[in-house]
Amino acid sequence: MGESVRIEIEGKTYELPLIIGSEGEKAIDINELRKKTGLITYDPGFGNTGSCKSAITFMDGEKGILRYRGIPIEELAEYSTFKETAYLLINGRLPNRAELNQFSVLLNDHSLVHEDMQLFYQNFPRASHPMGILSSMVNATRSFYPELQTAEEEINITVTRLLAKVRTMAAMSYKISRGHKVVYPRSDLAYCANFLNMMFDSPVKPYVIDEDVVRALEVFWILHADHEQNCSTSAVRVVGSGKVNLYAAISAGIAALWGPLHGGANQAVIEMLTDVHASGYKVSRLIERAKEKQDPFRMMGFGHRVYKTYDPRAKIIKGMCHKLLNKLHMKDPLLDLAMELEEIAMRDDFFKENNLYPNVDFYSGIVLRAIGFPSNMFTVLFAIGRLPGWIAQWKESLDDPDWRLSRPRQIYIGSVLNHYVPVDKRK
C-alpha cells in the first residue's frame, strides 16, 4: 500500500491515494472521489489538475527548470539539433548515429506534399491567416495519406510523414500567399536549412544559407518542442482521447495554439512593440495600461501559468537575439524597446507581486524578424517546433494504462425543472 491522504467531508473521513512523481511532485488521486463521496472538484483552467502521468517533459515553475526526457533545455539548446530533439521526445532517448541517419532519410523521403493539395491553398482568400490554413491542411492530409495506426512501425511512418510534411506545407502557404512559385524540398539540405530554403529561395534571388541563421531557427524550434500539458497539447490529448486520427488531433492542437494568450503571443508582442515604435507612445504607458483593472489590455509576452520566475526559454532566446543581430550586423529598434520595457517591468511592484516575467514569446519575434519571417508566420513557426511534443504526448496517451476518454463534469447553475410552453402561450 502506497502513501495516502485523508480528507474530511461533512464529518466523514475518506482515504485517497497519493501519487508521487519522479521529481517528488505530489498529487491526490481523485479517481474514486465521486464514487466514494458523491462530490466532484471545481478547477477552472485546470491549474490544480494533473490530467495524466507523463515521462516526457519536466517543468519546475518556481525554479525555472525545463527538461526534455530529463535533459536540461540549456544543454539541448547548446548541443542538440531540432531533428535529434524531436527523436528524443518521440522515442524517449537520444538516437545513435545510425538511428539519426535513418530518421533523416525518412524525413527526406516523406517531405513532398501531394500536388493536389496545392489547389486547396490557391482557394484560400489571400488575407487568410497561415495558422488557419495550416490547421485545415493538416486535417486534410488524412484524406491524402490515410493513417497507419496499428503496428509500431506503421505509427512511425505516420509520425514521420507529419514531421516532414508540416514543414513543407508551412513554407508552401507562405509562398502561395505572396503569389510566388512554390519551392520544393531538397534532399541535400538538413531539416532547418531545407525549410529556410523553401521559404526564401526564389528564381530571381537564390537563397544563401547562413549557418548562424540556421542555428538560430534550430534553437528556436528546440525551445518550443514541448512544454508538458499546455493548452494546445491538452487539446491534442483531449481530441485524441476520442480515438480520432492523429492528423485531426494535431490540427486541433494547431487551432488551440493560434490564440494570443498561447502561441499567438509571439505575433502579438511584435505588433504591440511595432505600435509603440510607430506612434512614439512611451513604453511606461504600456506598463500603466497592464496595471489598470478596467483595461482588458495584457502585456503580451509576460506571465505564465506555470513559471513564477524567469522563463528559462526566454533567457536563452534573449541571449540569442543579441548574438544573431550582432552576427548579421543588424539593429532592430524593437529590441531596444523590448529591453526598456523589461527593465521597467522588472522594477514595478505589480509585475513583481504577480510574478510577471518575460516568457518565451517576448524576444522570439525579434529573432524571427531578423531571419526575415513576416509576423503572421511566427505562430506557424511555433507550431512546427511544437509538433514533436504533440506527437510524443499523443503517442504516450496511446500506451497509457490509465487512459480514458476525456470528459470533464460541470457544476450546473442553470434553471431548475422548467416546462415547455407552446409559442402562442409565451409572454
Task: By CB under 6 A, name the binding residues for ligand CMC.
Answer: 45, 227, 230, 261-263, 265, 290, 298-305, 354, 356, 359-361
Nearer to ligand CMC, 198 or 270 (CB): 270
Q: State in angstroms the smallest separation of the CB of 32 from ligand CMC.
A: 29
Decide whether 82 or 302 has the Cβ nearer to ligand CMC. Answer: 302
Rounded to whole angstroms, how far apart are CA atoms 192 and 37?
54
Is 177 or 393 the residue whose CB approaches ligand CMC more closely?
393
Tell me the closest approach of the beta carbon of residue 261 to ligand CMC, in angstroms: 4
Residue 25 or 292 with smaller CB distance to ligand CMC: 292
Q: Which of 129, 227, 304, 311 is catalytic?
A: 304
Please answer whether residues 397 and 194 qualify as being in contact, where contact means their C-beta atoms are separated by less than 8 angstroms.
Answer: no
**Is 304 one of the annotated active-site residues of the chain?**
yes
Active-site option among 361, 399, 419, 424? 361
- Three cell numbers written together for 411: 457544476
Q: Which amino acid is at 371?
A: I
Shortest distance in whole angstroms from residue 147 CB to ligand CMC: 27
Answer left, alpha or beta for residue 11, where phi above 0 means left and psi between -120 and 50 means alpha: left
Annotate 308-341 with b (16+ C-beta within 10 A) or e (fewer): bebbbbbbbbbebbeebbeeeeeebebbebbbeb
- Contact between 82 and 384 under an 8 Å Cβ cutoff? The reply is no
Cα(391)–Cα(389) distance, rounded to whole angstroms? 5
Q: Is 361 a catalytic residue?
A: yes
**How is 136-154 classified by DSSP, letter by letter?**
HHHHHHHHHS----SSHHH
Q: Which residue is nearest to ligand CMC (CB)?
A: 303
CB 273 → ligand CMC: shortest distance, Å? Answer: 13
Rounded least distance, CB 164 to ligand CMC, Å: 25
For residues 4 and 284, which CB has a smaller minimum distance to ligand CMC in the complex? 284
Kindly list the catalytic residues: 304, 361
